[in-house]
Amino acid sequence: MNQSELIQLFRQDRESAFREIYRDAFPQVAALIARRKGTLEEAKDVFHEALIALFEKCQTEELQIRGSVISYVVGMCRNQWSNYLRKKQREIPTDDFSENEYEAEPDAPERSGSLIRYLEKAGKKCLDLLQAVYYFRYNMQEVAEEFGFRSVRSATVQKYKCMEKVRNEVAKRADETVSA
């Protein structure tokens, strides 16, 4: 089903459109989320959010799909799940720590977040890719699928380019520090 067929089906019979997308895309979404340690309920939630977003985009004619509708929906779900995991990683319950459990060295320089700043300077796509590889431990096949690369080789090349961006930022900062 392509974009124009989807919009036409939504206009004629919205329920059939949802049923067809559900039948074709949900198994892929459930498998994707299960591979990334999610539950069936979480897969349903993410899928339903994606369907709502898709329907709203069809209504406002903001929809621009280059491939198949099913691939588009699976991609939306993958991005929503990645965002959910990223947000979940940032939420640390404070009641797990005692007040004196960690004390910074009084003379230690402020370094918190410096690596993150370098990664952010490399760009959001590089940050996401490197996070998938090094933090979430995706293999390069998973990275290729997750980020839409045509091959594992393309994903590896992009990872290398991202690492070079980070290295250049670190070197640039080191040069600035030495010059000052």
Distance CA 164, CA 15 (A): 49
Q: What is the DSSP string of 50-64?
A: HHHHHHHHHHHT---
pLDDT of the residue at 98:
43
pLDDT by residue for the chain (180 residues), tens only, comes to 666 777 777 777 778 888 888 888 888 888 888 888 888 889 899 999 988 888 888 777 677 777 788 888 888 899 989 888 888 776 545 444 444 443 444 433 344 356 777 777 888 888 888 888 877 778 888 889 888 999 989 999 999 999 888 888 888 877 777 776
For the entire predicted model, the pTM comes to 0.49
